[in-house]
Amino acid sequence: MSDSDALNVLEIVKQYGMEAALSKEIIRSTPEVRRKYFEKRTVLHANMNKVFLELWPLLHTKKRERLVFVFGPSGVGKSALRKLLAMIYLREHIEQLNEDREWIPLTQNELDQKSERYSWREFYRGGLMAGQEPLIDCKILPRGPLNRSYVPTGKATIDLWGNAYAENSERRRVRVALVDEADKLAKIPYRDKEAVTNPLIGLSRICPHYLFGTYTLLDLRNLNGQIARRSNSFHFPRYHFADPEENKEFQKALNGLADQLPLEERPDLAAHAEYICRRSNGSIGVLHDWLADALDVAMEESAPTINIQHLRKTQPDDDSLGRLEAEAAAGEERFLGLDVDYKDATTALANAEEKWIERLGEKRGQKERDSSGQSKETRHTGKNNRKRGNRRPGQMKPRKIPIGGALSQLRRRPTRAKG
């Protein structure tokens, strides 16, 4: 995407509320209204903007068999990115949508794990709801030549729901499907790899699916070559305060969120940037939730702005922060290890390729030797040679010769009597 296109995207974001200017009416509203207002606010920071500009061209490509994996740490802003993509994409096709009310160009399926064991049933159900499919629980195969033992139980199997999901996507002409919290698909109990490989390949054939989730998505991304050749991967990282460039971009995002707080006075959050960055794990989503809680405390105290005491009262506790840091660090190490694994695999593949080429050369040489030897043996073959069993002239007929050789046999042969 060119710079002009990027500027147009930013203008659209500002126009449709992602970075709307704070009005005095909101500041004078009730605490509930002000809280809801800030919950809907976000900021298009550097990392989000980078991943957005990488994903946006893919939404307009004609390649259908595609799985796009967008992974990053918890609370980094993947859900906000998904909503931003959907909002701008639908806004882009608003005229066609008004003309064709049956068409759904984009669906959003946010996976919700309501039980300890997630399954594809919940995934297909969420996809059918996103496609506005009626009678979702009644997707059962009617009586017919292929189903003579039909019993009207009123329940649909996972396969039937999967077929209904594919049929709904085709009928609604869905171009793109966005799936949030897709890392739950990697936690489905499977008997073998084929039990997860086949549904993923089936999703790519229905329409391009964009899977947003944590680093657990790497388990699905690296299952086998069939999924790898249909996939594109994008990393949505957090900010590290120790890096000067990332520190600078984090402070820009912090100032952007400070501008959206519905308070009488704008808080000076940049003065506590290092403390805020480390306690939020460098994730804008975690920071947004933290500031929302601090806003509640400030409104309860009728404070004109948020101060450092409000931040300390509502900061993430040590247990949750430690869990976030551990998962983010492990995921980043695994992601960075992909390059090392790729180099090791490339070296192993190069060695295997050399052995394969060497083996092919040996086989070709053996075939040439066999063909040349066979041609010498069969060069003098003809009708007479076939009677002799393909023996050359002067070659004795193979027979068992006793000890002493043929000469001793001639000497022992009795002479015939004359007359």
Q: Can you read off the two tokens belonging to residue 393?
A: 């002239």
* Element of type H or E holding 106: strand 106-110
- Of the three residues 272, 298, 316, the one that is the final residue of a domain is 316
> What is the per-residue pLDDT for 221?
83
pLDDT digits (tens, 9 = 90+) for 353-398: 666 677 767 777 777 776 766 555 554 444 444 455 566 676 666 6
- What are the residues facing 144 on neighbouring strands? 147
| Residue 351 belongs to some domain of the structure | no
Q: Is the dihedral of CA 321, 323, 328, 333 positive or negative?
A: positive
CA angle 86-92-97, nearest 5°?
Answer: 90
Helix, strand, coil distribution of the chain in percent, nearest 5: 60, 5, 35
| Residue 146 belongs to some domain of the structure | yes
The verdict on 182 and 283 lying in the same domain is: no
Q: Are 141 and 178 in contact (CB under 8 A)?
A: no
Number of domains in the chain: 2
The verdict on 2 and 88 lying in the same domain is: no
Quickly list H helices, 172-210: 194-206
Give CA–CA dist 19/11, Å, rounded: 10
> What is the per-residue pLDDT for 145?
57
The CATH number linked to 165 is: 3.40.50.300
Among residues 90, 93, 130, which one has the least CA distance to residue 109? Answer: 130
The verdict on 29 and 106 lying in the same domain is: no
> What is the per-residue pLDDT for 51?
93
CA angle 139-90-113, nearest 5°?
Answer: 45
Give CA–CA dist 103/28, Å, rounded: 41
Residue 267: give the domain boundaries.
1-41+243-316
Termini Cα distance of the chain? 118
The verdict on 89 and 136 lying in the same domain is: yes
Give CA–CA dist 320/326, Å, rounded: 10
| Residue 399 belongs to some domain of the structure | no
How would you label 24-63 residue by residue, b for 16+ Cβ within 10 Å and e otherwise? eeeeeeeeeebbebbeebbbbbebbbebbebbbeebeeee
- Of the three residues 276, 297, 316, the one that is the final residue of a domain is 316
The verdict on 46 and 189 lying in the same domain is: yes
Give pTM, 2 decimals.
0.74
The single-letter code of the amino acid at 168 is: N
> What is the per-residue pLDDT for 143?
53
The verdict on 139 and 58 lying in the same domain is: yes
The verdict on 136 and 17 lying in the same domain is: no
The verdict on 36 and 141 lying in the same domain is: no
| Residue 322 belongs to some domain of the structure | no
Give CA–CA dist 335/72, Å, rounded: 10
The values of phi and psi at residue 377, to 5°, are -70, -35
> What is the per-residue pLDDT for 211?
94
The values of phi and psi at residue 2, to 5°, are -75, 170
- Of the three residues 276, 293, 316, the one that is the final residue of a domain is 316
pLDDT digits (tens, 9 = 90+) for 16-29: 555 556 777 888 88
Please report, in tens digits, the pLDDT of each residue of the chain (419 residues total).
Answer: 444 454 455 665 655 555 556 777 888 889 999 999 999 888 889 999 899 989 988 888 877 788 999 999 999 999 999 999 998 899 889 999 999 989 999 999 988 766 667 788 888 888 999 998 887 777 665 555 555 554 444 456 677 788 888 889 999 999 999 999 998 888 887 766 666 777 888 888 889 999 999 999 988 887 878 888 888 999 999 999 999 999 999 999 999 999 989 999 999 999 999 999 999 999 999 999 999 999 999 999 999 999 999 999 999 999 989 999 999 999 998 888 765 555 555 555 556 666 667 776 777 777 777 676 655 555 444 444 445 556 667 666 666 655 555 545 545 555 555 54
| Residue 129 belongs to some domain of the structure | yes
The verdict on 204 and 132 lying in the same domain is: yes
> What is the per-residue pLDDT for 81?
93
The verdict on 85 and 198 lying in the same domain is: yes
| Residue 304 belongs to some domain of the structure | yes
- What are the residues facing 176 on neighbouring strands? 106
